[in-house]
Amino acid sequence: MKRKWMAMVLSMTMVVSLLAGCGTVGGKSEENTNNKSDTENLSDNQPASNGSDSDESKVYKIGICQQLEHQALDAATEGFRAALEEKLGKDKVEFDYQNAQGEQANCATIATKFVNDKTDLIMANATTALQACAAATADIPIIGTSVTDFAAAGVVESNDVPGRNVTGTSDLAPIDKQIDLLTTLVPSAKKVGILFCSAEANSVFQAEQAEKALKEKGISYERYTVADSNDVQQVTSNAVAGCDAIYIPTDNTLADNMEGVKNVTVPANIPVICGEENMCAAGGLATLSISYYNIGYNAGIMAYEILVNDKKPAEMPVQYADEMTVKYNSEVAEALKIDMPSDMVAIEKEE
């Protein structure tokens, strides 16, 4: 009887052990099955990560700060947008266009907005806009355009090796060639007035270059500076009273007020040589002009290289226009009774 009882105890012990062992194994098996299921679900529902955003799904956010509205700057912005839309596709780029209306404080506010919005890149159109954006961030890539000299504006270490998060395209045309044009069309000029806005750093730079070129030709000159648009008519009147011709560089304030300049200079029979085509079309006589659309377009190509090909602005030299054309305003030429050389191109009037 005792042996039967012991056998029953031993059998029950073995059964309990087996059940416990099976429970443990079963728990592990169930846990492993669940883990495998989770992994398979992750694989089914989530793309494998390669450590970077997918270029195919990326939509680039670009902030555009334009200093003010006039034809030259508008053309540069148009060219910039066209280049990026062509290279990326219209559905892969979003532009936040902001016009500062010529106010430095507005430029700073716009730049701060772009930084807070964490835009992928900033395009700054004209010098004051570029200076404000460069002051706002050292991290977000910045492409400038319609800027005469980036180093003189204080936004890069040098035009050849920017060394910062800033690069872009310059609107500098050869000042000495523009002065050559002036002396060709007005060979009797003994004194030239240089008309520009003293608040624009790039205009000051160009005025200095014009003075150097005139001095080398033995022609006297005088600066006539405006502080803002309110001064244009009076300062222009002073210039025509004391000079035989006027030179105006690529100055944003004067570009926005060329109609007023024309209303003073044409009745006084004083020819004006301008820094770019749109200024000339609005009231000048002639220009050795670059295309603002083209420099804007080239700025867009530079932006693409930064966004897609990981180029660094610090290592990208500032680019310059490679094509220039001598053009003239036929209406002003006729009013001043000046016969233009046959190889010069008349500016086409907009319909």
Counted domains in the chain: 2
> What CA–CA distance (Å, rounded) separates 177 from 249?
12
Could you tell me if 285 and 296 lie in one domain?
Answer: no
Could you tell me if 242 and 117 lie in one domain?
Answer: no
Position 91, amino acid: D
- Strand pairing class (272-274; 220-226): unpaired
Under a CB-based contact definition with an 8 Å cutoff, are residues 292 and 82 in contact? no
Q: Give the count of alpha carbons within 13 A of 255, CB side only.
A: 22
Q: Is residue 285 part of a domain?
A: yes
Could you tell me if 233 and 262 lie in one domain?
Answer: yes
> What CA–CA distance (Å, rounded) separates 209 from 176?
7
* Alpha carbon separation from 171 to 72, 130, 174, 197, 275 (Å, rounded): 10, 14, 10, 17, 9
Q: Is residue 16 part of a domain?
A: no
> What CA–CA distance (Å, rounded) separates 128 from 102?
9
Of 348, 325, 322, 328, residue with least CA distance to 340: 328
Under a CB-based contact definition with an 8 Å cutoff, are residues 107 and 128 in contact? yes
Q: Is residue 183 part of a domain?
A: yes
What sign does the CA torsion over 270, 275, 280, 286 have?
positive
Q: Is residue 41 part of a domain?
A: no
Under a CB-based contact definition with an 8 Å cutoff, are residues 240 and 271 in contact? no
* CATH code, 179: 3.40.50.2300
Could you tell me if 181 and 146 lie in one domain?
Answer: no
Supply the pLDDT for residue 218: 97
Could you tell me if 121 and 210 lie in one domain?
Answer: no
Supply the pLDDT for residue 281: 94
Please write down the HEC assignment for all residues of the chain.
CHHHHHHHHHHHHHHHHHHHHHHHHHHHHHHHHHHHHHHHHHHHHCCCCCCCCCCCCCCEEEEEEECCCCHHHHHHHHHHHHHHHHHHCHHHEEEEEEECCCCHHHHHHHHHHHHHCCCCEEEEECHHHHHHHHHHCCCCCEEEEEECCCCCCCCCCCCCCCCCCEEEEECCCCHHHHHHHHHHHCCCCCEEEEEEECCCHHHHHHHHHHHHHHHHCCCEEEEEEECCHHHHHHHHHHHHHHCCEEEECCCHHHHCCHHHHHHHHCCCCCCEEECCHHHHHHHCCEEEECCHHHHHHHHHHHHHHHHHHCCCHHHCCCECCCCCEEEECHHHHHHHCCCCCCCCEECCCCC
Under a CB-based contact definition with an 8 Å cutoff, are residues 79 and 295 in contact? yes
pLDDT class for 99, splitting at 50, 70, 90? Answer: very high
Under a CB-based contact definition with an 8 Å cutoff, are residues 228 and 197 in contact? yes
Supply the pLDDT for residue 15: 37
Could you tell me if 189 and 268 lie in one domain?
Answer: yes
Could you tell me if 204 and 225 lie in one domain?
Answer: yes
What sign does the CA torsion over 242, 245, 251, 255 have?
positive
Could you tell me if 117 and 191 lie in one domain?
Answer: no
| 272-299 pLDDT tens trace | 999 999 899 999 999 998 899 999 999 9
Beta-bridge partners for 223: 194
Could you tell me if 339 and 190 lie in one domain?
Answer: yes
Q: Is residue 251 part of a domain?
A: yes
Supply the pLDDT for residue 28: 36
Summarize the confidence of residues 193-214 as an average pLDDT: 95
Token pair 């002396």 in the structure block, residue:
183
Supply the pLDDT for residue 11: 43
Q: Is residue 208 part of a domain?
A: yes
Could you tell me if 182 and 274 lie in one domain?
Answer: yes
| 34-77 pLDDT tens trace | 333 333 333 333 333 333 344 678 999 999 999 999 889 999 99
The least confident of 42-56, 96-110, 188-202, 323-337 is 42-56
Supply the pLDDT for residue 23: 38
Residue that wins the pLDDT comparison between 118 and 342: 118
Position 328, amino acid: Y
Residue that wins the pLDDT comparison between 318 and 324: 318
The CB density around residue 78, as the number of other CB atoms within 10 Å, is 15
Token pair 């031993």 in the structure block, residue:
10
Of 270, 226, 246, residue with least CA distance to 178: 246
Q: Is residue 34 part of a domain?
A: no
Could you tell me if 95 and 77 lie in one domain?
Answer: yes
Q: Is residue 11 part of a domain?
A: no
Could you tell me if 180 and 283 lie in one domain?
Answer: yes
Supply the pLDDT for residue 66: 98
**For residue 276, what are the domain limits?**
175-289+325-346
Beta-bridge partners for 194: 223, 247
Supply the pLDDT for residue 57: 83
Write down the pTM of the prediction.
0.73
